[in-house]
Amino acid sequence: MKPVVLAPAAEEEMLVSARYYESRQSGLGDQFLNELLQTGARIAEYPDAWPVISGKIRRCLFNRFPFGLIFRIEAERIYVLAVMHMKRKPNYWNNRL
Protein backbone atom coordinates (compact mmCIF):
# COMPACT_ATOMS: atom_id res chain seq x y z
CA MET A 1 0.00 0.00 0.00
CA LYS A 2 1.11 3.52 -0.73
CA PRO A 3 1.29 5.98 2.16
CA VAL A 4 -1.34 8.69 2.42
CA VAL A 5 0.35 12.10 2.72
CA LEU A 6 -1.42 15.38 3.45
CA ALA A 7 -0.43 18.57 1.67
CA PRO A 8 0.47 21.35 4.13
CA ALA A 9 -2.81 23.15 3.35
CA ALA A 10 -4.79 19.93 3.91
CA GLU A 11 -3.02 19.39 7.21
CA GLU A 12 -3.98 22.91 8.29
CA GLU A 13 -7.61 22.24 7.30
CA MET A 14 -7.53 19.05 9.35
CA LEU A 15 -6.25 20.85 12.45
CA VAL A 16 -8.66 23.79 12.14
CA SER A 17 -11.61 21.42 11.74
CA ALA A 18 -10.54 19.23 14.67
CA ARG A 19 -10.18 22.32 16.88
CA TYR A 20 -13.62 23.54 15.82
CA TYR A 21 -15.29 20.22 16.65
CA GLU A 22 -13.42 20.01 19.96
CA SER A 23 -14.69 23.50 20.84
CA ARG A 24 -18.24 22.30 20.24
CA GLN A 25 -17.96 19.17 22.40
CA SER A 26 -15.14 17.60 24.35
CA GLY A 27 -13.77 14.57 22.49
CA LEU A 28 -15.45 15.44 19.18
CA GLY A 29 -12.19 16.74 17.72
CA ASP A 30 -10.57 13.37 18.37
CA GLN A 31 -13.54 11.64 16.77
CA PHE A 32 -13.06 13.83 13.70
CA LEU A 33 -9.37 12.92 13.53
CA ASN A 34 -10.18 9.21 13.91
CA GLU A 35 -12.69 9.49 11.06
CA LEU A 36 -10.02 11.16 8.93
CA LEU A 37 -7.59 8.30 9.68
CA GLN A 38 -10.22 5.70 8.79
CA THR A 39 -10.99 7.50 5.54
CA GLY A 40 -7.27 7.63 4.71
CA ALA A 41 -7.00 3.89 5.43
CA ARG A 42 -9.90 3.17 3.04
CA ILE A 43 -8.15 5.21 0.36
CA ALA A 44 -4.83 3.44 0.95
CA GLU A 45 -6.48 0.03 0.68
CA TYR A 46 -8.59 0.82 -2.41
CA PRO A 47 -7.20 3.99 -4.05
CA ASP A 48 -9.02 3.48 -7.37
CA ALA A 49 -12.41 2.85 -5.74
CA TRP A 50 -13.29 6.52 -5.27
CA PRO A 51 -14.92 8.70 -7.93
CA VAL A 52 -12.84 10.95 -10.15
CA ILE A 53 -14.01 14.53 -9.75
CA SER A 54 -11.55 16.31 -12.07
CA GLY A 55 -8.74 14.94 -14.22
CA LYS A 56 -6.85 12.55 -11.92
CA ILE A 57 -8.34 13.98 -8.72
CA ARG A 58 -10.58 11.74 -6.62
CA ARG A 59 -12.78 12.22 -3.57
CA CYS A 60 -13.53 9.94 -0.65
CA LEU A 61 -16.25 11.03 1.77
CA PHE A 62 -16.14 10.65 5.53
CA ASN A 63 -18.87 8.46 7.00
CA ARG A 64 -19.87 10.66 9.92
CA PHE A 65 -18.71 14.23 9.29
CA PRO A 66 -19.60 16.36 6.24
CA PHE A 67 -16.05 16.17 4.84
CA GLY A 68 -14.17 14.47 2.08
CA LEU A 69 -10.53 13.89 1.26
CA ILE A 70 -9.57 15.26 -2.13
CA PHE A 71 -6.58 13.30 -3.41
CA ARG A 72 -4.52 12.09 -6.33
CA ILE A 73 -2.69 8.82 -6.73
CA GLU A 74 1.00 9.34 -7.40
CA ALA A 75 3.79 6.85 -8.11
CA GLU A 76 5.02 6.60 -4.52
CA ARG A 77 2.14 8.00 -2.46
CA ILE A 78 -1.46 9.10 -2.26
CA TYR A 79 -1.39 12.87 -1.94
CA VAL A 80 -4.30 14.57 -0.16
CA LEU A 81 -4.83 18.06 -1.55
CA ALA A 82 -7.69 19.05 0.74
CA VAL A 83 -9.69 18.05 3.79
CA MET A 84 -12.81 19.59 2.33
CA HIS A 85 -16.06 20.50 4.06
CA MET A 86 -18.67 19.32 1.58
CA LYS A 87 -21.04 22.25 2.12
CA ARG A 88 -18.53 25.06 1.53
CA LYS A 89 -16.72 26.54 -1.47
CA PRO A 90 -16.56 23.70 -3.99
CA ASN A 91 -13.37 23.54 -6.05
CA TYR A 92 -11.45 26.02 -3.86
CA TRP A 93 -8.60 23.48 -3.84
CA ASN A 94 -8.03 23.72 -7.63
CA ASN A 95 -5.11 26.09 -7.10
CA ARG A 96 -3.29 23.28 -5.23
CA LEU A 97 -2.85 21.08 -8.30
Domain ranges of the chain: 4-86
Q: Find all residues with CB under 8 Å of 4, minimum gap 6, and list them.
A: 40, 41, 43, 44, 71, 77, 78, 80
Superfamily of domain 4-86: RelE-like (3.30.2310.20)
Q: Along the chain (97 residues), what's the average pLDDT of each consecutive run of 10 residues?
A: 96 97 97 98 97 94 96 97 87 66
What are the φ/ψ torsions at residue 93 (nearest 5 degrees)? -80, -5
What was the pLDDT predicted at 11? 97
The reported pLDDT for the residue numbered 92 is 63
For residues 95 and 15, what is the distance between their CA atoms, to the nearest angstrom? 20
* pTM score above 0.85: yes
Q: Put residue 91 in one of left, alpha, beta given phi > 0 → left and psi -120 to 50 → alpha.
A: left
Parallel, antiparallel or unpaired: strands 57-61 and 52-54: antiparallel
